[in-house]
Structure 1
């Protein structure tokens, strides 16, 4: 493993903690803010930022995001996201010990399984640690971004009152942003600050802001731990997939690796289904939120 990749993975670990802390502050702020109206994004965003707690969460999240940019620039995207995904286990600990949020046994188990599955899934990729793997084909990247960001918008439109669906949709939007960051990082040496005026920079901004608003609504409708876990799982799973699909990261050969990968994927899906509360409880919770 090269020194630069090792530094990238350390940055990814710092990203995991910062992301969790920022998310939990945003949860508290979103719960005290007026209801997010997805059809009025500018007004809803302004109202959210009027909450000092939410703004603090954004500040922490932004710092974490900048560290994440460094991680994606230095390490293969699958290895960086595996580290961030493994850090998801911090969610239950930080929520319980530092924020005083009650974490159910169902959530402890679900988040732990989700983190293990995501990390195992990424670990089955060859993830060549000697290179950052930033090269891509424009057509492939475009299709991936359209499918990811478009999928997030479609889920939001179809299930605008379902907290779990919105959490997943937010994760898709952030995965589109993270994949764009990785692609843009490959041009940093040649363009320098010029990367800020590239089309991908606009994609990063729009996908990040849309994801932020959708995530805030999911946090208003659902509970902290399951919503954050679902958003993180959707973002990490999709971004890990971008490694071999978009950036040509090599896949390992052999049936054993394939079996492990399939089992890891199944584990993530199982954990995603296990972590949120039962559907009936979610429906009652949503009705209560709408009535506020």
Structure 2
């Protein structure tokens, strides 16, 4: 179990690095919206730094698949919160964005939550039966919740609506990944045929593409130190809740490990709220962008 949770940490770090690479290009690439969506995405793909970041994210996702195939998705999601902390630190150091005391408290809450989770291992955690119909209803409900902020003009303008929807999409992608690993397990027939006929494979691809597009759009309007925590917190909270509702994941049998696990889940939610609550504005001259400008001149 510990090996696969360590794999989840590696996946989280790689995904954070990939997103950082993509964020550095947000001021140079167009926003994907309306009739401009396809041409904007093509421009992203043709950008070496952006596509490189996507490649790093893909490697991180592969590590995530390995982790979630052997560990409860809710636990993997909590470990994934470490990527938010790494991204916030990188945003301050590399992008020149400022961190408030509130945001540093959020980072500390994430680290402490991961420590509680690690200490809760070995407490007899179990998984129940997977309910496909429940996953379908859970997906429909969260999609409606994710669309609601887009009806608020202020949230659209600030990039918060796009960040929220991206987090929900990534979170659902995590649940679809768990369902995919369960569907593809075993030796019943050809693996290639099972992959082609598995609906969760296409759901994973669609959810992650939507998540990437929406998060990149959010990067155009908001600071990375806000957009990533808001998206990342939701992308991890969704599998935590969904793991219990859809996959019947249970708390450890012992009272102390169970309390530490609940504490880790609670800190995940609190940390996401703290990191997403800052109202500081996007720097007018981030370190990376400023450096590029000086090189060109």
TM-score (norm 2): 0.79
Match of 1:62 among 55, 58, 61: 58
Distance 1:214 1:107, change over 3 A: farther
- Give the C-alpha shift of residue 39 in structure 1: 5.5
Question: Displacement of 1:101 after TM fit?
Answer: 3.1
Q: Decide which structure has the larger Cα Rg and report it.
A: 2
1:24-50 Cα offsets, whole Å, 9 max, x none, are 101012221023215643232112222
Q: CA separation of 1:247/1:241 partners in 2, compared to 1, >3 Å: closer, same or farther? A: same
Supply the RMSD in Å over aligned alpha carbons: 3.2
Does the CA-based 8 Å contact 2:159-2:219 persist in structure 1?
Answer: yes
For normalisation by structure 1, the TM-score amounts to 0.80
Q: What's 1:180 paired with?
A: 176
Distance 2:68 2:46 in 1: 31
1:1-292 equivalence runs, <5 A: 5-38=1-34, 40-97=36-93, 99-106=94-101, 108-109=103-104, 111-113=106-108, 115-116=110-111, 119=114, 133=127, 135-158=129-152, 159-190=155-186, 192-193=191-192, 194-251=194-251, 257=259, 260=263, 264=267, 267-268=270-271, 270-274=273-277, 276-278=278-280, 281=281
- Give per-residue Cα distances to partners, 1:58-107, cap 9 Å, x unaligned: 1111111111111111111121112111343222333344x353332347
Shift of 1:119: 4.1
* C-alpha distance in 2 between matches for 1:262 and 1:21: 24
| 1:113-149 Cα shifts (integer Å, max 9, x gaps) | 5525764896799896666x48411211111122223
Q: 1:61 to 1:156 in 2, by over 3 A?
A: farther
Q: Is the 8 A contact 1:177 1:203 kept in 2?
A: yes
CA contact (8 A) 1:30 1:219 kept: yes
More displaced 10-residue stretch of structure 1: 112-121 or 240-249: 112-121
Higher RCO (Cα < 8 Å, 6 or more apart): 2
Unaligned runs of 5+ in 1: 285-292
Gaps of 5+ in 2: 285-297
Shift, 1:233, TM fit: 0.5
| Cα pair distance change 1:92/1:119, threshold 3 Å | same
